[in-house]
Structures are given as structure tokens and as C-alpha cells.
Structure 1
Amino acid sequence: MFKAERLQKIQELITKQNHMDINTLSKLLNVSNVTVRNDLKELEEKGILYRTHGGATLRSQSPLQSIPLLQELNPSTEAFAAIERIAEEAANYVEDKEWIFLGSGTTTCAIAKALANRDVQVVTNNVLASYILSQQPNANVILCGGKVYTERIPFLSGDLTLNNLSSMFFNKAFIGVSAVDFKCGYSVSNDVECNIFKFLQDYSKEIIVVTDSSKFEKAAFMSIGNLDIANTIISDTGMPECYQEYYKENNINMLLV
């Protein structure tokens, strides 16, 4: 049996049983336990399953799969292809062991997903991002306190959140925005998000805005600052040329995927 066939067979077996142990898989596939462990590691890295003590469980059995957003973040979903690429680029931009902050929103959830199996230290007010990262054995995750705001993706904000953040300093802070415009700068849909983003400017070595090109030349409810507040912008190649020229002229690091 070729490796590709073996990997497919493992997925089929675990799908039927929900969980399989290494010894059983080894006998059914007629391969060594070492081969099975390597196969399970590869399937976990692809996001297909979780390795457990002595076996594996299909990732789709996780409670996360009941959240519609996770389905939207699937790389096979065409509408989120740009967000997935941005998230991968952002994850590659993170150095092991450095402290990062992940803000609210869809793109930061995708970054959390892209950080699978990375040795990272993350503080976030993004409830779903914290849950995604909590499934990763190498991630050190801190969910800051605060009032829960139940928008499309729940996040925490308020005085308690700001008080918690005031004792921390981040190497990199990744923030998603609702809109980008020359006149309005970066803007978000509510004032509580605005307070956090402005706060992070004083407590982060590098501010990184992550947003897809559909957000450009638009304005949302409240501005968090001019376009030069970001040290780095990560977006896709659909970004309008006038904005690309602006970032180049102002020596703002720009990563397009």
C-alpha cells in the first residue's frame, strides 16, 4: 500500500470509529507502529486529526466543528482563500517564543489556526482564537479578561481588558480592521474595538494590520488612526495600487500574498 493510500485509509478508519489506537491501526494496515505515528503526525499537521495518547481522534469530532466560522476558515472555501493566505503569511512572520497579541475578527482566527504546532506565546481578546490555540500542545495562550461582546465572533473588551493589557508588552500585535481609507485611515465597527487598538500602540513593539483587499477604499464606524500607525501591513495582491504606493513611499513594511 502506497503512503497516499495508507493516509486515506487511516482517515476512513478514524472517521468510522471516531478514535483509533496505534496498535490497531498498525495491524489493520500491516505496518509498524513507527510508520503509523509518522502518518498520524502528518495528518495532524494537515489539520485532519488530533493525536491523542496512544492513538488519534478525527478533528471533525472537536466541539470547534460545530461553530460555523470554522467551516468558513476551511482552505477549500473559495471566499476565504485570501484570508487563509494572509493568515499563513502572518504565522510565518511570527518568531518562536516571542509574545504576540491577536485582536478580534475573522482574519486573526485564521492566524490562530495557521499557528498550529508552533511554539508560540499568545495573548488575545478573541474568544474563538483562544479556543483554537488551546487545542495546540505547544501554544502558551492567555485570554485577557473583560466584558463579552457577542458580535459575529465573540471578543472581550472594557476596562478589565485594558487593565490586564497594561501589564504586558508584545513583540507583535496583529489587528484586523473593518475598512481602510486614505481619509479615515483604519476603521472598525464599534468603539470598544477602537479603545483596544489605540491602547496596543503603546504596548507593542510592532503593530501589524491584517486585512484582505476587499476592505480598501471603505470606511467603518470609528477610526483607530491614520495608515501610518501600522509598522506592517499584510494583505493580498488585490490591494489597490495607490495604497501599495503609499506604503512603499512611507517605508511601511508591506507583505502581499
Structure 2
Amino acid sequence: MYATERHQQIADTLELVGRVSVAGLARDFGVTTETIRRDLDALEEAGRLRRVHGGAVPAEQSALAETSLVERLGRNAEQKDAIARAALHLVPPTFRGSVLIDSGSTTGRLAELIENWSPDVPGATLDISTNSVPLAARLHAAANPHLQLRSLGGAVRGITGAAVGPTTIAQLSDIRPDLAFVGANGVSSAFGFSTPDETEAAAKAAMVHAARRVVVLADSTKLDAESLVRFACLDEVDTLITDAAPPPELAEALADADVQVVLA
């Protein structure tokens, strides 16, 4: 196989699975790891990927890369819907308590499902807090009498619609939700849970510290990825809901940290 053919197949694989390893590519192509490293160097120079330890990720997947909420809504839609449905099982009609929902595209799909939540006992309600302006607006518009909505204030980030900053963190420190659903841009064995923006990371960290139980919703493209700012170590989270089994090293780290992994 010519180098150009390998390059195209590497790029196609990367687009499909979100990450490639030097060892895996060498095995698949039947060439040396040195050959694959040269291939990855050439592809990085051409702007088609970004080298990371042991392999490569898409070029746009840098520690600072962040797309708008609108852009993310259509990506990996089926996976995010499956994750949201799995998360909804944690809030059955028998649930009595309070829920905190982070800003994000996957948490947004969960909020869509919660719009129609109803209890098994007449008159019971579900208390929901969120720092997401779009989610608060949607839940308010649903006019579900079984939902008691609390919208957290703060400075609103235009790219995500999330309220962040000292006001948000202060309000989070004054509540103790039973269950927090938090989004993440990266889940790494070495770095934990991370996101590109430090103000949003601070809000997420406050959510993690406030809640009695913390559930991270992250599709499989976020696994083995690292963003710029860590908001939680692995052992600070109770459950990770994702759509594919984590890679072996990450799976072992999650198990060691006693994080329950739920596959949607």
C-alpha cells in the first residue's frame, strides 16, 4: 500500500472513531511503528490531525477547541439520545428529590425528556436547578405542573448559554441537590473530567461539590480526550453514562476510582 493510501485510511478511521493509536495502526497496516509515526507527522503537517501521546486525534480536538451549543446539537445525535434515555432511568416517577442539570447538548436531550416527567403519586413534584439559559427557557415553556424550576444566575456565556462566574458558584454553594447531571468535553485516566473554559469548569466543579450524587453524561468521542481545564478527578464522580465501552486504560482507572460506567 502506498503512503498516500495509508494517509487517507488513517484520516477516514480518525473521522469515524475519533482517535487512533500508533500501535493499532501499525498492526492494522502491517508496517512498523516508525512508519506510522512518519505518516502521522505528515498528516499533522497537512492540518488533518493532531498528534497526542501514543497516537492522534482530529485536528479540531485541541485542549482549547470549543464549538457552540447549536453546532453540537446535531453531532452524535443518536448516541446522545441513548445517553439521555439511560440518564432518565435515574429519575423515575417514584423519584423524590432535587436534580441539577448542567448546560450542554447531551444534558439538553435529558431536559427534553424530563419536560414530560410525571410522578406516580398525585401532587408530587420534581425540583430542577440549571445554569443553562436555553434549558431553563425550555423547561419553563413546557408548563409542566410537576416540575419546580430554579434558574441559576450569573454571566451568560454566548457559546454555550451557560451561567457562570461568582454569582453562579455562590448559588451552587447554597444548594444540595440529590442528583447532578454534568457534561464533559474530556474524560481521561490521567486528567479526569475536563472542559475548555475555566469559568465553565469552575461552575461544573461547584456542581460536583454541591450534589449528593454526580452523574457525568459524555458520548464516546469524549473518552480518552483532555480539554484545558479539569473540573473533577475521576474519584469525585459517581457514575459515567456513555455510549461505548471506555478504552482499557480508562476503564481500569474508572474502576479503581469506583466510578460506575453505564453503557447506553
TM class, shorter-length: 0.5 to 0.7
CA contact (8 A) 1:102 1:175 kept: yes
TM-score between both structures, scaled by the size of structure 1: 0.66
Query: Out of 255, 258, 261, which is 1:254 matched to?
Result: 261
Q: CA deviation at 1:118?
A: 0.8
- 1:215-254 paired onto structure 2 within 5 Å: 215-254=222-261
Distance 1:253 1:93 in 2: 13
Match of 1:82 among 55, 79, 84: 79
The offset of 1:164, in angstroms, is 1.7
Aligned-partner SS, 1:174: strand
2:204 to 185, 189, 197: 197
Name the SS of the counterpart of 1:237 in structure 2: coil
Displacement, 1:196? 1.4
Partner of 2:89: helix, strand, or coil?
A: helix
2:91 paired residue number: 94
Gaps of 5+ in 1: 1-67
2:131 aligns to what?
125
Point out 4+ residue stretches in structure 1 off by more than 6 angstroms: none
Q: Secondary structure at the match of 2:76?
A: helix
Conserved in 2, the CA contact under 8 Å of 1:100 and 1:171?
yes
Asked if 1 retains the 8 angstrom alpha-carbon contact of 2:73 and 2:105, the reply is no
**In 1, Cα distance between equivalents of 2:253 and 2:72:** 35
Counterpart residue identity of residue 261, structure 2? M
Note the C-alpha offset of 1:238: 4.5
TM normalised by structure 2 equals: 0.64
Q: Which amino acid aligns with 2:128?
A: V
Question: What amino acid sits opposite 1:133 in the alignment?
Answer: L
Structure 2 distance, partners of 1:100, 1:72, is 22
2:98–2:178 contact (8 Å) kept in structure 1: yes
**Partners in 2 of 1:72 and 1:148 — Cα distance?**
19
Report the identity percentage. Answer: 22
Letter in 2 for 1:125: N
Whole-Å Cα distance in 2 between the matches of residues 251 and 195 of structure 1? 23
Matched, 1:164 2:180: no
Choose from 187, 191, 215 the match for 1:208: 215
Deviations 1:175-217 (A, max 9, x none): 1011111222111010111111222233210111110010111
CA RMSD of aligned residues (A): 2.2
Quote the Cα distance in structure 1 between the aligned partners of 2:78 and 2:181: 19
